[in-house]
Structure 1
Amino acid sequence: MNLNRTGRVGALCWVAAAPLFLAASLVTGLRWREPTYSWAIHNISDLGNAHCGIWDTTRPRYVCSPWHPLMNAATVVTAVLLATGLLLTWRLLGRGAVVRSAQTLLLAATAGYALAALYPADVDENRHVLGAFLIMGLGNVGLLLAGLAPRATTLGRCRRLTLSAGLVALAGTVLFVAQQGLGLGVGGMERVAVLPFPIWACCLGVLLAEVPADRTRPTRSAVPT
């Protein structure tokens, strides 16, 4: 398989998404004071909350994120990068019902990132929770489904990576919903549920970007002098 220019741009979008999201999470978390931000205790959503105060009746904790606009903006850009990567590599990843279903569910997950960022949990909890469901519910099912793509497809040739990411993500989702941290903390388990998709996309983007460029386009014939 040769990669055309459109596909290469899509692959590069995927490569950029996870580092951007992780960097924004780290930088935004470092701006917390009293309490400091904990990846084990606090949810990812806490970084985007617009107001300071006690949050969450299930696990009450004080949330105050001075740089929440940075986190929310970075999450929207992450959503755009993931969606663009999916759309620009749509035909390259393969054909068939399994591939198309996986792509559709993953595209829904990118909408979830945007929804969660545009509606912070303390501004519109219902829409924020819907965004989380699209990411951890539909998106992780889509990731697992992508791991079942036929081996003849591009997705199928990355089956081990994709299946591993999908299984880890779904396990993390179940444990997070059950509020079980298993030594990572509930906040850490949320990251086990959320991060496999962008990290998988980054890895797949790197693999695709290494594919030779499509050189099938006709070249101009030399004009005799």
Structure 2
Amino acid sequence: MTSSSAPHVSDAPHPQRPAHRVSPAVRLGAAAWIVAAVQFLVVQVVVASAWRTPFSWATNNVSDLGNVHCRTWDASRPRYVCSPLHDVMNASFVLHGALLLLGTVATAACWGRGRLSAGARILFALNAAGWVLVGFVPADVDENLHVLGALLIMGLGNLGLLCAGFVPVGSPFGRLRAVTLTLAAAAVLAAWSFFGQHDPGTGLGALERMAAFAVDAWIVVSGLAALRARRADVAGGPRPSVRRD
């Protein structure tokens, strides 16, 4: 008389879908985010170094690097702006937005489910659109459209970061809640101070960077977390395989 054993769940990873690897889409999105932040920082340093007049990271706006004319600029804070590599900076703005959008779409499985997750991703997409807009429309070409782009970045983008702080804790990005909320709080405060022209002594240019680059800091941290996540940790990961003995 033979006996058959009941099916049991094996913890062994599927041979063609390793448990330690997330999907190609998530890896692509995480890589896009990291490249977006790194290239953006590097290009700013290169473009700023080309200025004949000193560029101040504390008092000059990021947008000054993309202005196309050499002249005294900004009635509220008059300063001479002349950026020889403005085309490089504006191309970086556009690339930054495109890669942000790609990463937001491709990492969908890492955000968890629910309205806050969906809302955060929509706001991140609008943030990405803001970067593309400021790249195509420098501040000294059309200030109104450029300011609209800045509001998308520092307004809706930081609201999206705040929403990202409340995505489900079981998701890869939800496990970063403390980091996310800390960055969001700092960014919202900096944006309020910048738009209200309340300089605590850091310089308004530094405030703008805190408001605009908090999302960049987050996408680097989140991109690395997504690359380290196991497939089973993200939505749509493989189910344990069933083996019959």
Same fold (TM over 0.5): yes
Counterpart in 2 of 1:41? 59
Counterpart in 2 of 1:193? 211
For residues 123-202 of structure 1, the aligned pairs below 5 Å read 123-202=141-220
Cα distance in structure 1, aligned partners of 2:231 and 2:171 = 18
Cα distance in structure 1, aligned partners of 2:58 and 2:109 = 39
Cα distance in structure 2, aligned partners of 1:94 and 1:22 = 29
Per mean C-alpha deviation after superposition, the further-off stretch among 206-215 and 138-147 is 206-215
Counterpart in 2 of 1:220? none
Distance 1:152 1:210, change over 3 A: closer
The DSSP-based 3-state class of the residue aligned with 1:189 is helix
1:67 aligned residue (85, 108, 122)? 85
Tell me how far 1:129 sits from its aligned partner: 0.7
The DSSP-based 3-state class of the residue aligned with 1:164 is helix
Where does structure 2 lack aligned partners over 5 or more consecutive residues? 1-18, 240-245
Where does structure 1 lack aligned partners over 5 or more consecutive residues? 218-225
Cα distance in structure 2, aligned partners of 1:23 and 1:180 = 29
Tell me how far 1:59 sits from its aligned partner: 0.3
Counterpart in 2 of 1:99? 117
Query: Larger relative CO (CA 8 A, sep 6+): 1 or 2?
Result: 2
Tell me how far 1:198 sits from its aligned partner: 1.2
Tell me how far 1:216 sits from its aligned partner: 4.9
Q: Which amino acid aligns with 2:98?
A: V
Identity of aligned residues (%): 42
Tell me how far 1:184 sits from its aligned partner: 1.5
- 1:104-153 CA distance string (max 9 Å, x none): 01110000000011000001111111100000011101101110222223
- The yes-or-no answer on 1:5 pairing with 2:24 is yes
Counterpart in 2 of 1:112? 130
- The yes-or-no answer on 1:206 pairing with 2:224 is yes
Contact persistence 1:180–1:189 (CA under 8 A): no
The DSSP-based 3-state class of the residue aligned with 1:184 is coil
- The yes-or-no answer on 1:28 pairing with 2:41 is no
Contact persistence 1:147–1:162 (CA under 8 A): yes
Cα distance in structure 1, aligned partners of 2:54 and 2:231 = 47
Contact persistence 1:181–1:188 (CA under 8 A): no
Q: Which amino acid aligns with 1:46?
A: D
**Displacement over 4 Å in runs of 4+:** 213-217
Give the TM-score taking structure 2 as reference length.
0.84
Per mean C-alpha deviation after superposition, the further-off stretch among 144-153 and 111-120 is 144-153
Give the TM-score taking structure 1 as reference length.
0.91
Per mean C-alpha deviation after superposition, the further-off stretch among 146-155 and 90-99 is 146-155
Tell me how far 1:213 sits from its aligned partner: 5.5
Contact persistence 2:172–2:225 (CA under 8 A): no
The DSSP-based 3-state class of the residue aligned with 1:137 is helix
Tell me how far 1:202 sits from its aligned partner: 1.0
Count of residue correspondences: 216
Per mean C-alpha deviation after superposition, the further-off stretch among 142-151 and 80-89 is 142-151
Structure of greater Rg: 2
- The yes-or-no answer on 1:90 pairing with 2:90 is no
